[in-house]
Amino acid sequence: MTVLAPDYQCILGVLEQQRSTGHGPLRAKEIAVELGLDATSAKVEGLRSKARRPAERGWLLLEASGAFSAGRRTVAVPDVGSFA
């Protein structure tokens, strides 16, 4: 996780803590509150944008409901023989 920028590490840290205590996914507003940010639209939208980036790269999961959770998504790796 240290390869990520500090903002992303904080988001993943909150989600890891939620998972370790048995809680489910969090919405962007809930993550903002956990990080001590104001729950204003600007802060929440900025955090949602930052959370989507690691979700797109498989570092965390974006649920269908729009909530985020810790975990890695399986990424398909092409067969080595297919490059021949």
Chain centroid to Cα 70, Å, comes to: 6
Alpha-carbon span 84 to 32, nearest angstrom: 48
- Residue 23's domain comprises 6-67
Contact 72, 83 (CB under 8 A): no
**In terms of pLDDT, which residue wins out, 51 or 76?**
51
Per-residue confidence band for 81, with pLDDT thresholds at 50, 70 and 90: low
Give the angle 71-75-76 at the CA atoms, nearest 5°.
Answer: 155
Amino acid identity, residue 80? V
Q: pTM value?
A: 0.78
Whether 17 is covered by a domain: the verdict is: yes
- Asked if residue 62 belongs to a domain, the reply is yes
Whether 30 is covered by a domain: the verdict is yes
Q: Give the per-residue pLDDT at 41.
A: 95
How many domains is the chain partitioned into structurally?
Answer: 1
pLDDT in tens, 36-46: 999 999 999 99
78: in domain: no
